[in-house]
Amino acid sequence: MKLKNYNSKYYQTLYQGIMDFQGLLDNGYMFYTFSKQSYINLSDGTCLDLKTKSIIPLLQLEPDIKNVRDKQLRMIAKRKNKHNRLHYVSYKRK
């Protein structure tokens, strides 16, 4: 599967409600962090690091998550910096 690129030249980002921890467990499949690492949700509260193949608890990873993708690799939540909370997003063609 190929990651969908939402270029701001062609798409407008619409921020919606705040994503909580339960939303991460239920809807999140792939997480990208501010430290530029990718993780896959194992649906039991743990995540698999794609680079080192190690398992990390989702609670430990949650403060560092930059964006969240679903199983179709569409971005469903993101935040601009570590001090903001994760918000659900949708994209509208300009």
β-strand partners of 16: none
pLDDT at 10 over 80: yes
pLDDT at 4 over 80: no
Task: Say how far apart CA 76 and CA 74 lie, in whole Å.
Answer: 6
8-11, Cβ contacts within 8 angstroms, sequence gap of 24 or more: 9/94, 10/93, 10/94, 11/91, 11/92, 11/93, 11/94
pLDDT at 1 over 70: no
* 13-50 per-position pLDDT tens digit: 899 999 999 999 999 999 999 999 999 999 898 999 99
DSSP state at residue 10? T
Domain borders along the chain are: 21-93
Name the residue among 56, 69, 65 with its Cα closest to residue 4: 69
